[in-house]
Amino acid sequence: MTRKQVHLAAHFPGVNNTTVWTDPRSGSQIDFSSFTHLARTAERGKLDFFFLAEGLRLRELKGRIHDLDVVGRPEALTVLSALAAVTDRLGLAGTVNATFNEPYELARRLSTLDHLSGGRAAWNVVTTSDAFTGENFRRGGYLDRADRYERAAEFVRLSRELWDSWQPDAVVADRAAGRFVRDGAIGTVEHQGRHFSVDGRFTLPRSPQGRPVIIQAGDSAEGREFAAAHADVIFTGHGRLEDGQRFYADVKSRLARHGREPHQLKIMPGVTFALGDTDEEAAENAAGIRRKQVGPQTAIAFLEQVWGRDMSAYDPDGPLPDLDPDLSEGVSQGRVAIKNRAAVAAKWRALAEEKGLTIRELVIEVTGRQTFVGTPETVARLIDEHVQADAADGFILVPHLTPGGLDDFVDRVVPLLQERGVFRTDYTGHTLRDHLELA
């Protein structure tokens, strides 16, 4: 029986409650040297791609900027275009919002990156119906939540029309005849949809991999259906075995009704890891990382999101306060809203009482992030087992240190996956589609 190959990617998370920017080993989140270090480490490990997220507005709590969250994140495609010059094979994936961009302009930027990189570009399609984020844009928060995936789907379809409007052999560059483009090889795009209207010709020829890879991040029913219809990769939060298997089976089962085969969509959860020379040491390292990730301010911030109250007067290392949530309004803006905060608060209180947890300990407990914890041998085995058990096609690794947090994984875990015969020892192709085994 042929064993499935593991796909791996590296996430550069920026400043948030995943990274430990206060660690002395942590570097800048903005200096280009940080991006090059992580990208070159990922390429040295023969990973599929390097992934950048996006933040379009600073997050706030009760009108105050929460500066331990997503702050100071450079624009993704600018960084990736620069990285194209200092990497050779690594895929370059950027998150760009489909709500606050336009297809023709973004299609040109993505196609440009694909040309500059030799066919290594990917677009992580995200949406937002958040009026708070929309206040930074001309259209504001005009888009109803129910319409956001409809707009995104039309956005992707139109982008593909633009990318595909040049025939593959359009460029002849015949110096003797003085003819650069074959007659009739550049088609006219005539698109009239609910959200977009385009009537013209695209300015760039087909890129080396035909069109950029499409990534989607979303867990709702609409998000899963969007991925089944349009995405090449889905970035999920289902890193646990049983959760991953349920998500994997559900999304893969949706592909047939869109005329697609299971291998045409790669499912890659975002995961963290903590290594040690023994499993016990790794567990201690993981606990230490979590305590750094959930500092006093972050613990109170998480509590405020659920309770809907200003909780700054409470001691994060003290007990949960004996008061009910204020359900009239939320205090957090720029984050995904928590559904049914009353039920979440009740669950948190029960857990705190059962285990005798302080506020900070409670937040650490309910926001646990270390997916793979153990020796390099243990982590390699767990990753392989998850992929072979159809819980994922691979993983997007989110290190807690920038930029050196991936070094140990590449040096100590990747060789063990290679020994197992489930991960490449070298790149066999040049484009990201080659790496992901996509047509």
Measured from the Cβ of residue 5, the count of other Cβ atoms closer than 10 Å reads: 14
Evaluated on CA atoms 214, 217, 222, 225, the torsion sign reads: positive
409: which residues sit within 8 A by CB, 6+ positions away? 45, 273, 275, 379, 397, 399
**CA atoms 206, 209, 212, 213: torsion sign:** positive
The pLDDT tens digits for 2-32 are: 899 999 999 997 766 678 888 899 888 889 9
Percentages helix, strand, coil for the chain, rounded to the nearest 5?
40, 15, 45
The pLDDT of residue 374 is: 97
Residue pLDDT, tens place only, 396-420: 999 999 999 999 999 999 999 999 9
Q: What is the DSSP string of 338-405?
A: PS-HHHHHHHHHHHHHHHT--HHHHHHHHT----EEE-HHHHHHHHHHHHHTTS-SEEEE--SSTTGG
Band (pLDDT 50/70/90 cuts) for residue 146 is: confident
Contact 429, 43 (CB under 8 A): no
**pLDDT at position 270, please?**
93
Cβ atoms of 201 and 224 within 8 Å: the answer is no
Cite the DSSP H helix spans in 117-178: 131-134, 148-163
Structure token pair of residue 346: 């009740």
Residue 246, pLDDT above cutoff 60: yes
**CA angle 229–231–237, rounded 5-degree value:** 110
Q: Can you give the length of the chain in residues? A: 439
pLDDT bracket for residue 60 (50, 70, 90): confident
Mean of per-residue pLDDT scores for the chain: 91
Share of the chain above pLDDT 70, in %: 93
H helix intervals, 84-189: 103-116, 131-134, 148-163
Q: Is pLDDT above 80 for 368?
A: no
pTM given for the model: 0.92
Which of 66-70, 127-131, 182-186, 254-258 is least confident? 66-70
CB 158 within 8 A of CB 198: yes
CA 170 vs CA 160, 181, 191, 205: distances in Å: 17, 6, 22, 7
- Tell me what the mean pLDDT of segment 376-390 comes to: 98
More reliable by pLDDT, 326 or 328: 326
pLDDT band at 43 (very low <50, low <70, confident <90, very high): very high
